[in-house]
Amino acid sequence: MTLISWSERRDAELARARVRELVGDDRVFRRLIASALHESHSQAITEVTVRTQQSLPWESLENLLGPELLRERAASVSSVDNSQKREVSALELAKRYA
């Protein structure tokens, strides 16, 4: 998320071009998506269970990478091993958004 904020405050086109270049590396894309992953938690007063909902700031990511590149990278990037649970969750969610 810091990268997204930074790209909006600096020379936007130059920053976006550099980020688009960097996300060609699967590791960089997975880290970007994982860092953008947001989790919200809710619990009804009468329930013991806490619900967790994950989301991605898809519109901000589209502004950063462009809609076509974001969809293409989300669909083509391979998953990592399950030890990187946040990256796996973020990538699965990105594939659904795409």
CA–CA dist 88, 63 (Å, integer): 23
Residue whose pair of structure tokens reads 């076509």 in the numeric block: 68
CA–CA dist 10, 98 (Å, integer): 27
Beta bridge partners of 53: 40
Walking along the chain (98 residues) 10 residues at a time, the average pLDDT comes out as 60 82 92 92 87 92 93 88 84 93
For the chain, report the end-to-end CA distance as a whole number of angstroms.
19
Query: What pTM, to 2 d.p., does this model score?
Result: 0.79
Burial degree of 32 (CB within 10 A; 0-12, 13-18, 19+): buried
